[in-house]
Amino acid sequence: MRQALEACPRLETFKFVVPDDNRHGGMLPVDIGIHPLVTPRDLGIALLEKHKATLKTLELHFNSYYDMRSAEFQEDMLLYGQDSFHYVYPSFRDFEVLSHVTIQFEKLTSLCHLPESLKYLKLQDCQFGADLSEDRLRGMLKLKDIWCPRIEQLSLQGFNVSEAIDMIREVASSLDMQISEFLGRGLVWFLNLGFDMEIRCDLS
């Protein structure tokens, strides 16, 4: 992977997506494409080392690999802390022009790891009932004020938003913020933030 990154000295866009087991409808006995060649942390570090001054668009998705909800990873996190392991992203803070980012929600351990240049952020695969804490939501609502002054749009996507809707309403109310709910479409919008923020639920 490092050799491939070195071959592109002025890389501006990078997309790395590990397909799931059903890519070919289960027709192939062995699909080596579903096995990642690199860990989330190592890939992020390699990109930072080679392309921090040029990378503008980044999309990373490891599907079910490095699943932080698995019992094995949960045990490791209790023992050593989630920031110290290969299954989470490193800090993207030092990227100088990175403006568009699409990554998995659970692998971003802190909003302070996002780059100051960020304009568009899509966080995927959030299990709203289990993953979205009140503190994390409050942090996202203050993203423009604290970490990403250029942010224009934040989309948080995942599953079972109804399990977190009461908490979302309470946080919005406590901050005197308005929200628009379209739960039949799995969509919640926050209004008057200074940037667009949506919570979108996969209904498929």
Listed by start position, the domains of the chain span 2-118
pLDDT at 204: 54
Q: Tell whether the model's pLDDT for residue 31 goes beyond 50.
A: no
- pLDDT confidence of residue 33: 44
Residues 123 and 80 sit within 8 Å (Cβ to Cβ): no
Encoding tokens for residue 32? 């080596």
pLDDT band with cut points at 50, 70 and 90 for residue 23: very low
| Average pLDDT score over residue span 16-20 | 83
Distance between CA atoms of 56 and 147, rounded to whole angstroms? 17
Q: Is the pLDDT of residue 22 over 60?
A: no
134-155 confidence digits (pLDDT tens): 999 999 999 999 999 999 999 9
Mean pLDDT of 37-46: 88
Closest CA to 184 of 200, 164, 172: 200
pTM: 0.87
Please tell me the distance from the alpha carbon of residue 15 to that of residue 188, in angstroms, as a whole number.
Answer: 28
CB-count burial class (<10 Å; 0-12, 13-18, 19+) for 167: middle
